[in-house]
Amino acid sequence: MKSLEELKAIREKMQGQIGLRSESSDKTRVVVGMATCGIASGARPVLNALSDAVQSKGLSNVQVTMTGCIGLCQYEPIVEVFEPGKDKVTYVKMTPEKALEIVDQHLIRGQVVSKYTIAEVLG
């Protein structure tokens, strides 16, 4: 270890991963429906894509977690985004690729990806 920069680099690399273990109520929660219906329609790759992206981009204020059946089985995989002080946003028929768009647009830039929201898809 020859410099503080080296230490900082290790810290930043690891922080995204350790961030998974922090507990804070003012975090944005991204919840993936992982009931039988969700898993059957491919929720696991979506969950993994979200989790990896959030960690590798160091989004320490975002928690990616899962839940049981949300109740709209025909629209699975479903991803819900809960931001403190804002209305819940529900994305339906997710794929890993769409999930990455949500990370880039919604979680990083704060713009809801309307075309994937339940309101839009249900028409």
Rounded Cα gap, residues 23 and 33, in angstroms:
21
> Measured between alpha carbons, how far is residue 62 from residues 2, 17, 33, 38, 121 in Å?
32, 12, 17, 22, 25
| Residue 11 engages another protein in binding (rule: CB under 8 A) | yes
Q: Which of 41, 40, 20 is nearest to 29 (CA)?
A: 20
Q: Which is nearer to another protein, 20 or 121 (CB)?
A: 20
Q: Which is nearer to another protein, 41 or 51 (CB)?
A: 51
How far apart are CB 35 and another protein at their closest, in Å? 6
Q: Which of 95, 90, 93, 85 is nearest to 112 (CA)?
A: 90
**Binding-site member from 1, 74, 85, 87 for another protein (CB under 8 A):** 1
Q: Which residues bind another protein (CB under 8 A)?
A: 1-4, 7, 10-11, 13-18, 20-21, 23, 25, 32-36, 39, 44, 47-48, 50-52, 55-56, 63-68
